[in-house]
Amino acid sequence: MKEVVNLFLEEFKQWATSQDNIKAVALVGSYAKGTAKPDSDIDLVIITNDPKSLLEDVQWLQNFGQIKEIKNEDWGLVQSKRVFYESGLEIEFGIATPEWAKTDPTDPGTKRVISDGAKILYDKNGILQSLLSTLPPSSSKPI
């Protein structure tokens, strides 16, 4: 499963960097912490100025495999698409505006997520690096 996850992360990173509306992406959760189990989901936070485009038109989710099911989740500043793929991958695409990553003050939910471990996959304008430099996450190096 680790190979499948690494392949997905590389494909997603390439896709994200080609999208004008995506400003940054962080891997968070158990994969960022290095504590993932075979049945762990992959947690991503996608920073965009236009979350509506990613939340309403879900065609982009098909770029990463055949979809079995999509669930919507509301985490305050982050709206998520939890996607179950035929390959067995479960991915939570958390979609947020740059407000999620602001540092003065840092949102308590953001602080908790980042402090639990985060790895930068893409950071067009340094917004995530700025956030990570103000918080002491357990594992915050770029992938």
143 domain residue, yes or no: no
In the chain, the amino acid numbered 78 is: V
96 domain residue, yes or no: yes
Residue 88 near residue 1, CB atoms below 8 Å: yes
- The stretches in the chain having pLDDT less than 50 are 137, 139-143
93 domain residue, yes or no: yes
Number of domains forming the structure of the chain: 1
Q: 3 in helix, strand or coil?
A: helix
142 domain residue, yes or no: no
Return the CATH number at 84: 3.30.460.10
Domain that holds residue 65: 2-134
pTM > 0.85: yes
Residue 12 near residue 31, CB atoms below 8 Å: no
Residue 24 near residue 124, CB atoms below 8 Å: yes
67 domain residue, yes or no: yes
Q: Cis check for the bond before 105: say yes or no (omega within 30 of 0).
A: yes
87 domain residue, yes or no: yes
Closest CA to 40 of 4, 83, 94, 91: 91
The residue with tokens 């504590």 is 35
Whole-number CA gyration radius for the chain: 14
59 domain residue, yes or no: yes
**Helix 127-134 and helix 108-115, axial crossing angle in degrees, nearest 10:** 80
In the chain, the amino acid numbered 89 is: L
48 domain residue, yes or no: yes
What is the β-pairing status of strands 42-48 and 90-96?
parallel
Q: In angstroms, what CA-CA distances link 85 with 37, 51, 70, 89, 94?
A: 17, 22, 9, 5, 16
Residue count (the chain): 143
pLDDT digits (tens, 9 = 90+) for 59-77: 999 999 999 999 999 999 9
